[in-house]
A = this chain, B = another copy of it.
Amino acid sequence: MSAAVSLPSASAPDSAPSAAERAARQAQVVQALSAHLPAHMLLWHAEDTTPYECDGLTAYRQRPLVVCLPETESQVQAVLRTCHALQVPVVARGAGTGLSGGAMPHALGVTLSLARFNRILSVDPVSRTARVQCGVRNLAISEAAAPWQLYYAPDPSSQIACTIGGNIAENSGGVHCLKYGLTVHNVLRVRGFTVEGEPVEFGSEALDTPGYDLLAAVIGSEGMLAVTTEATVRLIPKPQLARCIMASFDDVRKAGDAVAAVIAAGIIPAGLEMMDKPMTAAVEDFVKAGYDLTAEAILLCESDGTPEEVEEEIGRMSEVLRAAGATAITVSENEAERLRFWSGRKNAFPASGRISPDYMCLDSTIPRKRLADILLAIAEMEKKYRLRCCNVFHAGDGNLHPLVLFDANDPDELHRCELFGADILETSVAMGGTVSGEHGVGVEKLNSMCTQFTTEENAQMFALKAAFDPAGLLNPGKVIPTLNRCAEYGKMLVRGGQIAHPELPRF
């Protein structure tokens, strides 16, 4: 691995730095940071920085110039001040479980690992909040709140490992976000530092705060606006009961329409997931969840609340699903059975890993009513690109996770897989959706942002970033594509037709 690995970064140097240039810069940065951090918090030898070369998006790798592992806020402040003075890019990193390369290092930058900020500062059962450091794991919050029958709702699949700081950066979702919202709906306050090392707070534990309300803008900003060190999150009471319906359909269109019908009936299930036949086949072989292997698609549809609420909602949902053409309906009779239903869904990714050397997970969204259309479009793409695709969707909120199966060691398959992925994203946008539901843009979807947004919209997002980080030192080269990059991408693409832009620009 060398610095010559080309960064998919908009603001990366035109040519990669030479080894000598990199070494000189490294010595300068290490020396400056040594004044503030003890030796064990500072890594720069290749064998020490290599573990940080990528996050959950392993296709792109880059050793950072330096890794810092601060333990206190004043050390974070010192790192930021030092980097700002030297104009060194800073990439913040939590657990490194992100799927879009948001924590991928910069060749000439510092990776600021916040893993040691792992303390739960307080749990307040009366106000139903927890104050936690940014490196606390998502699931650890719920564990700490469990004695009061409370929990933190957003549940990304990586919740056993991913940190709340990373969740804030990516505005993470999860199976239950249809009912309980994304990170942005469950975080009250974010504390951290600006690129200059100034302490800053967004939001508050009160209903409102003075000044512009930038909490929502910072959540999901992928480390581009500020560095988070602490957060106050909302806790909610554990539902008394949860039950899950497994419904089979002999036709993907009927299954897609059933999802739209459930929501149109005014029901917000606690979770509403869809898997197609190739996906259930792969999963069933792995975890024996008891899925109907004859179905073209199955839905998992959960209700939670008091026993009375669950009984009523399960009844109404079953009715809607039956009317929509479900060929079989099974309702979990106990917690063990409910967990078994979910075990399949939660193991969809590893199950795909068992049947293919590699897979690429997409994350686009579409309006619910287009679920069947996108499934049929993906089926056509399988023929066009000669690759298989398993589909597992957060169907209730229209968030797709198609898993394109390929072999990364076959350059032609890799290329076809990339085209397949881009096609899914562009088709999603054309159907009125977006390129990312919950995994973030990072480096992965930078090109697709050219499809999603106009030049003016991307310029506007740069202007907003510049209000926080004029020199562009925080996580540069990610999330927002430059005009040049979009022009290049347009040239690269061989497009069948027009790209459908949303009617209105949106920030």
Contact = CB atoms under 8 A, between A and B. Distances in A.
B216 A397 contact: no
A504 B201 contact: yes
Interface in A441-491: 452-453, 456-457, 460-461, 463-464, 466-468
Interface stretch (A5-13, A27-35, A203-211): A203-211
A58 to B, nearest CB: 25
B213 A220 contact: yes
Interface stretch (A245-253, A299-307, A348-356, A431-439): A431-439
B208 A437 contact: yes
A365 B202 CA distance: 18
A461 B398 contact: no
A463 B225 CA distance: 13
A200 interface: yes
Interface in A199-235: 199-202, 204, 206-217, 219-221
B199 A504 contact: yes
A402 B219 CA distance: 36
Contact of A217 (B177, B217, B457): B217
A181 B207 contact: yes
A187 B490 CA distance: 36
Interface string A173-202: 100011001101100000100000011111
Contact of A463 (B201, B220, B467): B467
B505 A202 contact: no
A332 B177 CA distance: 39
A393 to B, nearest CB: 15
B206 A397 contact: yes
A85 interface: no
A265 interface: yes
A505 B199 contact: yes
A492 interface: no
Contact of A504 (B125, B173, B191): B191
A212 B202 CA distance: 15
A264 interface: yes
Contacts of A265: 126
Given A182-B207, A212-B217, A464 B461 contact: no
Given A125-B266, A210-B452, 14 more contacts: A178-B207, A185-B207, A201-B507, A202-B506, A202-B507, A210-B436, A211-B457, A211-B461, A211-B506, A212-B220, A212-B461, A213-B217, A463-B467, A464-B467
30 contacts: A128-B266, A171-B208, A177-B207, A178-B207, A181-B207, A184-B213, A185-B207, A198-B456, A198-B505, A199-B505, A200-B504, A201-B504, A202-B506, A202-B507, A206-B398, A207-B397, A208-B437, A210-B435, A210-B452, A210-B453, A211-B457, A212-B461, A212-B507, A213-B216, A213-B219, A216-B217, A460-B467, A463-B467, A463-B468, A467-B467
